[in-house]
Chains A and B, each alone.
Chain A
Amino acid sequence: MMRASSLLAVLALVGGCEVTGLSRLSFLLRAGGLDRPAAGPLSWVTRAGWDVRLEEARVAVGPFYFNVAPPLQGLARSAGPAQVLARLLLPAAHADAGQEHTAGGRIVAQVTHRIVLDVLSPTLVTVGRGDGISELVRTAELWLLPDDRAGISGVLPRRSVAYVLGEASRAGEVVAFAAYVVLQESAVPGQPLERLRTVRRIPAELPLSDGGTVELRVDPRPWLDQADFSDLLGYPVEDGRRVARPEDSVGRALSHGVRLAQGVYEFRWRPPGDAGEPPPN
């Protein structure tokens, strides 16, 4: 019986070795902070002129979805800002982000894992294995969830999705600060919670193939670009720091910054055998 089966299977493949198009694949997602020589505090000057020194910065990211839709930059060339905004805000949200949940395009890959990332460490850590199909990814999407079934939220205080600790100084003013991002419905009135919790249309040119690696780098500097730390000067000091609130400019900047589609999250593709490929887990 088995011999006959094998013979017929061979017969099936005679002249029939063609395929139905595309293929499924598996890849690894690794993530880390800004690509720099060593871990440690990160200092820079914001657009508002604050000299910021971050001592700790973490963000909870994942799951990740990869789309064939082009990034918004491309969209903006053919449509005005109003149309782009309208497309984004049209009530087409899907609870579980269906095939058109990103207001267009199609999800072709995913990594349904989550990680709390130390964005001050340049070392890439493994997030998890992803699966998808062999299409060119143009944009990525990541979710910022306050809680999950894996119970990793305890790493972040106050059910936040991101937090930063540091010191900002400008013209003799020095502010030791702490800031958290808690995404809730009241954060942006009129925005579905699901939309608040997703960062969409992150440019990502990823020619996925089986066995490769996607690398994610997170740059925390844009998180605080618009922050005016003088807003915190009137706040009480807790554990040596002034804690930003959602309504002040630091809280708003961080809340906006972690959801920026451009400038914060950078995805790169490393094909199988590339020098950057990590050893298998």
Chain B
Amino acid sequence: MFATLLVLLGAGQVAAAPTPPRVAQPAPLRYPEDGAGLVVVVRLEVLVDEQGKPAEVQVLGTDPADAPPGFAAAALEHVRALRFVPAQDGGVPVAARVGLTLRIAPPASLPAAASPRAPSPVSPPPSAPAEERFSAVVRGAARQGERAVSDLRIEIGQLRVVPRRSAGELLTLAPGILLTNEGGEGHAQRVFLRGFDAREGQDMEFSVGGVPINEVANAHGQGYADTHFLIPETIASLRVIEGPFDPRQGDFAVAGSAEYRLGVDERGLRLSYRGGSFNSHRVLLLWAPGCTVSRVLCRPGTFGAVELGQSDGFGQNRFSQRAAATAQLDLGLGDWGSLLVLATHYASRFKSPGVVRQDDYEAGRIDFFGSYDLQQGGDATRTTLSARLEARLGSFELMQQAFLTLRNLRLRENFTGFLLDVQRPNQAPRGADPQRGDLLDATTQELTVGGRGAARLRGTLRGLTQQLEVGYLARHDRNQAAQLRLRSGTVVPYRTDFHYAAGQTNIAAYVDLELRPLRWLTLRGGVRGDFFHFDIENRCDQIDSNVPRAPLDVECYSLDRYGYRNPTARRTATGVLLQPRITLQVEPLRGLVLTGSYGHGARSADLLFIGDGDDTPFSSIRAAEGGGLLYRVLGPLELTVRGAFFYTHVDRDLLFNQTLGRNTLAPGTTRLGLLGAGRLLGPWLDLSLSVTWARATFDDTGLLVPYVPEVVVRADGAGFGPLPRLRLLGEPLGLTGGVGLTYVAPRPLPLSERGDPYVLLDTQLRARWHFVELGVMIENLLDRRYRLNEFNYVSDFRSRPYPTLVPERHFIAGPPLTVLASIALHADALLGELRRKR
């Protein structure tokens, strides 16, 4: 028997893993009577208790999927007889849930069934050769709340069945996160988190397998992070840290960070189709080679996936098309380490409805799901390559990663209608003369190259693990960004708002120390230093002219009051910032961890606001959090409950300005709040509930920060497992169902108003029989008509006889009842069936 222990490393860091359980006492494994000479891989999940006993064993699946049931029974029998050295956290035994993969091959006396002329099975021998592989590590208290109570490592697990159609929506598994979208299917989602309107990434750092996603110079908004290129089925887990408490968190980690890890647990070839409401169609081809195909390629990190999608959308001007391809190769290098190579490609084209004025909707001048400007929409492409090497050299763990991203984005949005266009002398208000309108055309082209690395030294002092990690990030972005205004209808550009080419370099280093002076006391922390260099060529430095007799519409003007000038201007600047972060954990009782965290974070400056030679004006963030986490194993159930109080202060915030179509500087803000969350995990259910209250105010006036929801409630529930005694043509029927509930309290809007609260209920049911899986997904089950986004600002969409120049309520409609049916074919099981029939 061969056992390999694989510690999965979190993206962007060398894993700070506690010691997983390991087999202490082997047990016999019999080859099943109905084995038919087959080689079968059985995947199990085992809850190893603090005494090292397998308290709970569950078969997750077999490879091939249609393997005779005797393999699962044999594997269960084998694992229940095993005894483990329990997982340890700083020398303290803790319960842990691990994944276990058994490869059961016939004894040498039996020929393998791969041969088409396999002989009839013979009497089983007393034991069978097998390989065991741990494929996941502790998912218990030891991995929770390392940096803060709200440091969440979220295994998607069975909650995948709760309707979520994009990678971004998985974020809602973390407490307090609300997502909205103002720009259509291909537009990055707007994130609200703990009192922050993090926009599309300005206040939240996103990364995928260590590759940064935030765009430093996006024309729509600094930090724009679009995760639509991720195929949801390829996301294995998510780490969300709400707040800047980990020295590895970098630029934009103001409200927090989200780190996606890619992988596919269910191995095999899968072809699925989903379609339904609004002429929506989606095809997914996913191949995650099983261990019967290749032992090299059967690690969970190895897969290839292609996704094609199209939809007319749920209202006017919401058409979208998208294609995404992701391939990842996870090569094990024996005990030495691993190599992870990732390639993603993505392209999308989408229409966007934009906002609807409340007064127009109430007067029947526009439909709830209508659109004023049918030219709104966008195009997005993204290509990413990454290679990541992880190595272990004795007590050292090393990681080195290089990445490259090419990104193009075009967004056409009209927030204000016809408010801002300069009139020609011969035009009549609302007359026959065409006004050009305020349709913005923002384009961004960005090339990102960079690398990151880390080295961790681990040792013990009085039997307790102590760790030191140093790491770095080096990133360079070359980009061009421009925003034009287009003529209504003809989309001919008539004005340049800005146009620049820029280079930004970010070099960061950190030191992170983990000290455990006592079994119940842990001190984690360190400091991060960031250096930024900006080189900006403003290609349209003089938009207007104040030169007498100059024409009305001038841009990139080459004349000022002193004579000729070059219309471009160059600015360079640098900035340095040190950010200390520290966490203190106390474990007064087994399974109860009290955590206090403090962190200093920063957001680099928007290129538009940088002057030549200036020290870069960072937005500085100070955050603190205190609370507790309780972890309990209750028979077959695993319960995690957490509660925390948080405080954040930002000295220079950003707010979205609809008139400018992008973020603008705002005064300092302070946030206070509470969160409570729990997750209950069992052999047939997975429940998650979170409630977050946050209050965000401006420092100078004490007024509320608009748009930020004060209360967000999210509940997810999944039930799963085979239906007892229910078989079809001799094959068991498996059923999985999920429900998701979102409640958003009335959001403060400008002018002392409140938005409407809403409750959303989504559900999905899947039934798996043999190689076929059928599903029905229903979003907005109650068919609530709700406003996903609400605003108060001035616009004039020519919906009234005369210009409207005072703020009015605007909204973006949320999706109505949506029903989608799906079918998935698990080709490995199908091929197995065909083989058997032959």
A194 touches B429 (CB 8 A): yes
A24 and B807 in contact, given A11-B711, A19-B703 (Cβ under 8 angstroms): yes
Partner of A145, one of B429, B705, B706: B429
A9→B701 CA distance, assembly (Å): 25
B806 touches A95 (CB 8 A): no
Q: A199 within 8 Å of B by Cβ?
A: no
13 pairs, A vs B, C-beta closer than 8 Å: A5-B743, A11-B745, A18-B702, A20-B753, A22-B750, A96-B421, A101-B805, A107-B805, A114-B801, A131-B806, A185-B426, A192-B425, A197-B429
A143 and B802 in contact, given A21-B751, A95-B422, A96-B421 (Cβ under 8 angstroms): yes
Q: Which residues of the other chain, B, contact A133 by a CB distance below 8 angstroms?
A: 751, 806-807
Given contacts A12-B745, A109-B806, A193-B426, 6 further A-B pairs with CB under 8 A are A11-B693, A65-B805, A107-B805, A110-B805, A112-B803, A194-B427
Q: Within residues 252 to 276 of chain A, which ones have a CB less than 8 A from any CB in chain B?
A: none
Q: A280 within 8 Å of B by Cβ?
A: no
Partner of B751, one of A1, A5, A23, A194: A23
Which residue of chain B has the shortest Cβ distance to A101 in the bound complex? B805
B759 touches A193 (CB 8 A): no
Q: Which residues of the other chain, A, contact B757 by a CB distance below 8 angstroms?
A: 5, 8-9, 12
Q: B837 within 8 Å of A by Cβ?
A: no
Binding site for B on A (CB under 8 A): 1, 4-5, 8-9, 11-12, 15-16, 18-24, 62-63, 65, 91-99, 101, 107-110, 112, 114, 131-133, 143, 145, 148-150, 185, 191-194, 197
B424 CB to closest chain A CB (Å) equals 8
A94 touches B420 (CB 8 A): yes
Q: Within residues 701 to 747 of chain B, which ones have a CB less than 8 A from any CB in chain A?
A: 701-706, 710-711, 713, 743, 745-746
A23→B426 CA distance, assembly (Å): 37
A95 and B802 in contact, given A8-B743, A16-B710 (Cβ under 8 angstroms): no
Q: Which residues of the other chain, B, contact A110 by a CB distance below 8 angstroms?
A: 804-806
A148→B421 CA distance, assembly (Å): 21
A92→B704 CA distance, assembly (Å): 34
A166→B800 CA distance, assembly (Å): 37
B422 touches A94 (CB 8 A): yes
B423 touches A192 (CB 8 A): yes
B456 CB to closest chain A CB (Å) equals 43
Q: B818 within 8 Å of A by Cβ?
A: no
A156→B461 CA distance, assembly (Å): 96
Q: Which residues of the other chain, A, contact B804 by a CB distance below 8 angstroms?
A: 110, 112
A148 touches B701 (CB 8 A): no
Q: Which residues of the other chain, B, contact A107 by a CB distance below 8 angstroms?
A: 794, 805-806
A138 CB to closest chain B CB (Å) equals 15
Q: Within residues 792 to 835 of chain B, which ones have a CB less than 8 A from any CB in chain A?
A: 792, 794, 796, 800-808
**A-B contact number at CB 8 A:** 148
Q: B572 within 8 Å of A by Cβ?
A: no
Q: B695 within 8 Å of A by Cβ?
A: yes
A8→B676 CA distance, assembly (Å): 14
A19 and B752 in contact, given A97-B805, A98-B420, A99-B805 (Cβ under 8 angstroms): yes
Q: B180 within 8 Å of A by Cβ?
A: no
A21 touches B703 (CB 8 A): yes
Which residue of chain B has the shortest Cβ distance to A111 in the bound complex? B802
B748 touches A20 (CB 8 A): yes
B695 touches A20 (CB 8 A): no
A149 touches B425 (CB 8 A): no
A109→B643 CA distance, assembly (Å): 46
Q: Which residues of the other chain, A, contact B704 by a CB distance below 8 angstroms?
A: 16, 18-20
A94 touches B423 (CB 8 A): yes
A15 CB to closest chain B CB (Å) equals 6
Partner of B423, one of A19, A95, A109, A112: A95
A194→B423 CA distance, assembly (Å): 8
A197→B427 CA distance, assembly (Å): 12
Which residue of chain A has the shortest Cβ distance to B796 in the bound complex? A96
A220 CB to closest chain B CB (Å) equals 24
A93→B419 CA distance, assembly (Å): 12
A99 touches B751 (CB 8 A): no
Q: B3 within 8 Å of A by Cβ?
A: no
Q: Which residues of the other chain, A, contact B751 by a CB distance below 8 angstroms?
A: 20-24, 133
Partner of A112, one of B701, B713, B802: B802
Interface residues on B, range: 35 or more
A259 CB to closest chain B CB (Å) equals 16
A110→B805 CA distance, assembly (Å): 7
B421 touches A112 (CB 8 A): no
A23 touches B752 (CB 8 A): yes
Q: Which residues of the other chain, A, contact B750 by a CB distance below 8 angstroms?
A: 20-22
Q: Which residues of the other chain, B, contact A148 by a CB distance below 8 angstroms?
A: 801-802
A110→B807 CA distance, assembly (Å): 10
Q: Within residues 422 to 480 of chain B, which ones have a CB less than 8 A from any CB in chain A?
A: 422-430, 435
Q: Which residues of the other chain, B, contact A143 by a CB distance below 8 angstroms?
A: 429, 802
A133→B705 CA distance, assembly (Å): 18
A98 and B711 in contact, given A5-B759, A145-B429 (Cβ under 8 angstroms): no
Q: B418 within 8 Å of A by Cβ?
A: yes
A87→B705 CA distance, assembly (Å): 35
Which residue of chain A has the shortest Cβ distance to B659 in the bound complex? A99
A75→B420 CA distance, assembly (Å): 25
Which residue of chain B has the shortest Cβ distance to A67 in the bound complex? B805
Q: B552 within 8 Å of A by Cβ?
A: yes
Q: Which residues of the other chain, B, contact A193 by a CB distance below 8 angstroms?
A: 425-428
A97 touches B745 (CB 8 A): no
A148 CB to closest chain B CB (Å) equals 6
Q: Which residues of the other chain, B, contact A191 by a CB distance below 8 angstroms?
A: 425
Q: B29 within 8 Å of A by Cβ?
A: no
Q: Which residues of the other chain, B, contact A63 by a CB distance below 8 angstroms?
A: 802-803
A21→B805 CA distance, assembly (Å): 19
Q: Within residues 543 to 573 of chain B, which ones have a CB less than 8 A from any CB in chain A?
A: 552
A12 touches B746 (CB 8 A): yes
Q: B639 within 8 Å of A by Cβ?
A: no
A1→B691 CA distance, assembly (Å): 15
A57→B701 CA distance, assembly (Å): 50
Flag B675-715 by CB within 8 Å of A: 1 or 0 each: 00000000000000000010101000111111000110100
A180→B745 CA distance, assembly (Å): 58
Q: B402 within 8 Å of A by Cβ?
A: no
Which residue of chain B has the shortest Cβ distance to A145 in the bound complex? B429
Partner of A93, one of B422, B743, B794: B422
Q: Which residues of the other chain, B, contact A1 by a CB distance below 8 angstroms?
A: 759
Q: B749 within 8 Å of A by Cβ?
A: yes
**Which has the most chain A C-beta neighbours within 10 Å: B427, B697, B751?**
B751
Q: Which residues of the other chain, A, contact B429 by a CB distance below 8 angstroms?
A: 95-96, 143, 145, 194, 197
B752 touches A16 (CB 8 A): no
Q: Within residues 162 to 202 of chain B, which ones have a CB less than 8 A from any CB in chain A?
A: none
Q: Which residues of the other chain, B, contact A94 by a CB distance below 8 angstroms?
A: 419-423
A185→B703 CA distance, assembly (Å): 47
A25 CB to closest chain B CB (Å) equals 9
Q: Which residues of the other chain, A, contact B752 by a CB distance below 8 angstroms?
A: 19-24
A221 CB to closest chain B CB (Å) equals 28
State the 10 A-B residue pairs at the shortest beta-carbon distance, nearest first: A95-B423, A12-B745, A19-B752, A107-B805, A96-B803, A63-B802, A192-B425, A23-B752, A112-B802, A21-B703
A133→B809 CA distance, assembly (Å): 12
A20→B706 CA distance, assembly (Å): 6
Partner of A9, one of B424, B703, B746: B746
B43 CB to closest chain A CB (Å) equals 38
A4→B742 CA distance, assembly (Å): 12
A149 and B430 in contact, given A8-B713, A16-B710, A133-B751 (Cβ under 8 angstroms): yes
Q: Which residues of the other chain, A, contact B702 by a CB distance below 8 angstroms?
A: 18
A149 touches B801 (CB 8 A): yes
Q: Within residues 326 to 366 of chain B, which ones have a CB less than 8 A from any CB in chain A?
A: none
A96 touches B419 (CB 8 A): yes
Q: Which residues of the other chain, A, contact B427 by a CB distance below 8 angstroms?
A: 95, 193-194
Q: Which residues of the other chain, B, contact A18 by a CB distance below 8 angstroms?
A: 697, 702-704
A22→B751 CA distance, assembly (Å): 5
B752 CB to closest chain A CB (Å) equals 4
Q: Which residues of the other chain, A, contact B428 by a CB distance below 8 angstroms?
A: 193-194
